[in-house]
Amino acid sequence: MDGGKTRNRVPLTAVLAANSISTAGTSLTLIGVPWFVLETTGSAGRAGVVAFCATLPIVVSALIGGPVIDRIGRRRVSVASDTVCGLAVAAVPLLHYADALAFWTLCVLMAVNGLAHTPGNTARYVLVPDLAAHAGTTLARAASLFDAVSRGARMVGAALAGVLIALVGAETVLLLDAATFLTSAALIAAGVRGVRAAEPVKAAAPVSLRTYRRELREGYAYLFGNRLLLGVVVTVLFMNGTDQGWNAVLLPVHASAELGGARDLGLLTALFGAGGLTGALLYGAVGHRYSRRAVFSVCVVLCGAPRFLVAALTGTTLPLAVTMVLSGVAGGVLNPILTTVIYGSVPDELRSRVSGALTAGCELAMPVGGLAAGLLVEGAGASGALLAMGAVYLVATLSPLVFPAWRRMDDEPSAGSVDRAGAVDLAGEAVSS
């Protein structure tokens, strides 16, 4: 029961299971949709356009959705989000089978999927601290488990996508993806019922444009008032933008032209996920003993640019596979550091609003990344595009070594302490997002 002494692990287990299933489905989309576009159009540019249409609404919903989540209720938002995503993804192969899928229709369906996807992710993410208390476990343990389960699901989903695309085609993979979203919705609907933190905020002011704008402004003011959080957002913004170009265009094109096709694409993505899971577990076991800033600064450089360089300079699977594992390990260390910093610094009443602002900032460049990658491939070739985007990634990840605000990453936990500028000090040990 909420706020009582009775421990109930069912809601936390339901959220972990739902998020893992939804994440596995997202991996199917991540591989299935670009491959479907390349198979049906043969155009890297069109793959970039679809990636743009899929990610721009993600940014829009993150920009404006924070206050809505608390008013509607985190449980309801998560269920509605997964249901809409499932229906949008299922429509792609069904319309294709009926010979009624125009390119603009595909773009619209991916836009609907993107618009609905972020609120559900945010709703589950911000529930973790409350469900940890509900289950009688620590925040660090629950958040680490959330990250580890998500990474494992991402790895399994990627491996399945590669194999299934080769065996039964991208259309069937997208139907399976739709089923995962609907399963996630059912788990949240049943498993999180009765948890007070998942229900609408009844004490909120009456709904009006003025209160909505005030609540939205509070989330962004909090973000802009904290230099470390702002530095994190700017760095991750560039990382996510180039990663979107990598996942939606560059890696599928490279796998199709130079490697073994969909199976290698799934293998490489799964190896990156396996490395990420290993990195998260390693950090939980020993990494927390060292300086957070030092560990983060090294791993953030290793997680991105090397992949682009190796893919640009080699045309075989093995070197890139090794690089993907090592980059994944480095990337797996990052989220455990960042998430506890975020959880530890943001008050509960602002969590949905600030989390929405963080998500919007971090994902702002994703639409441009996918579109730019497609245009670069068509204009400069795959190798030139890989080198150009890898250079952007490298410059972005040097930020923790250059800017003084990152030194606060090693501050002791002090959530709620306010400095003279009005910012809340960051804190915490490691967790994830």
pLDDT over 60 (residue 430): no
- Between CA 200 and CA 205, with CA 203 as vertex, the angle to 5 degrees is 100
From 304, 301, 312, select the one nearest 250 (Cα to Cα): 312
Could you tell me what percent of the chain has a pLDDT over 70?
Answer: 79
pLDDT over 70 (residue 424): no
Window from 29-38, 202-211, 424-433 with minimum mean pLDDT: 424-433
The arithmetic mean of pLDDT across residues 339-356, rounded, is 67
404 DSSP 8-state letter? G
Cα dihedral across residues 128, 75, 247, 318: positive or negative: positive
Residue 83, φ and ψ in degrees, nearest 5: -65, -45
The arithmetic mean of pLDDT across residues 307-314, rounded, is 92
User: What's the Cα-to-Cα distance from 232 to each of 41, 219, 246, 295, rounded to whole Å?
Assistant: 37, 16, 21, 15
pLDDT value at residue 209: 63
**Contact (CB, 8 A) for 143 and 122:** no
Other CB atoms within 10 A of residue 425 CB: 18
The arithmetic mean of pLDDT across residues 36-64, rounded, is 77
Greater model confidence, 423 or 225: 225
Look at the pTM and tell me if it is higher than 0.85. Answer: no
From 305, 387, 296, select the one nearest 339 (Cα to Cα): 296
pLDDT over 80 (residue 360): no
Question: 3-state DSSP call for residue 379?
Answer: helix
Rounded-to-integer distance, Cα 216 and Cα 56, Å? 19
**Long-range contacts: 218-221, Cβ < 8 Å, 24+?**
218/350, 218/353, 219/66, 219/67, 219/350, 219/352, 219/353, 219/354, 219/356, 219/357, 220/357
Could you tell me which residues come within 8 angstroms of residue 6 by beta carbon, excluding any fewer than 6 positions away?
A: none
> Which amino acid is residue 215, in one-letter code?
E
pLDDT value at residue 343: 64
**Contact (CB, 8 A) for 266 and 159:** yes
The arithmetic mean of pLDDT across residues 16-34, rounded, is 80
Rounded-to-integer distance, Cα 260 and Cα 267, Å? 10
Written as six digits, the tokens of 69 are 């989540």
pLDDT over 70 (residue 417): no
Rounded-to-integer distance, Cα 415 and Cα 421, Å? 15
Rounded-to-integer distance, Cα 260 and Cα 265, Å? 8
pLDDT value at residue 320: 93
Confidence band (pLDDT; 50, 70, 90) for 198? low
pLDDT over 70 (residue 420): no
pLDDT digit string (tens) for 205-235?
A: 555 566 667 766 777 777 776 777 788 888 8
Helix 10-41 and helix 74-97, axial crossing angle in degrees, nearest 10: 30
pLDDT digit string (tens) for 90-144?
A: 898 899 888 888 888 888 888 888 888 777 777 777 777 777 777 777 666 776 6
Q: Where are the beta strands (DSSP E) in 172-313?
A: none
Other CB atoms within 10 A of residue 103 CB: 14
pLDDT digit string (tens) for 370-389?
A: 888 888 888 888 889 999 99
Confidence band (pLDDT; 50, 70, 90) for 321? very high
Could you tell me what percent of the chain has a pLDDT over 90?
Answer: 7
pLDDT over 60 (residue 433): no
pLDDT value at residue 62: 65
Rounded-to-integer distance, Cα 307 and Cα 267, Å? 14
Q: Which residue has the tokens 């899971």?
A: 277
Rounded-to-integer distance, Cα 96 and Cα 52, Å? 21
From 36, 57, 37, 32, select the one nearest 47 (Cα to Cα): 37
Rounded-to-integer distance, Cα 39 and Cα 48, Å? 14
Residue 323, φ and ψ in degrees, nearest 5: -65, -40
pLDDT value at residue 175: 87
Rounded-to-integer distance, Cα 46 and Cα 36, Å? 11
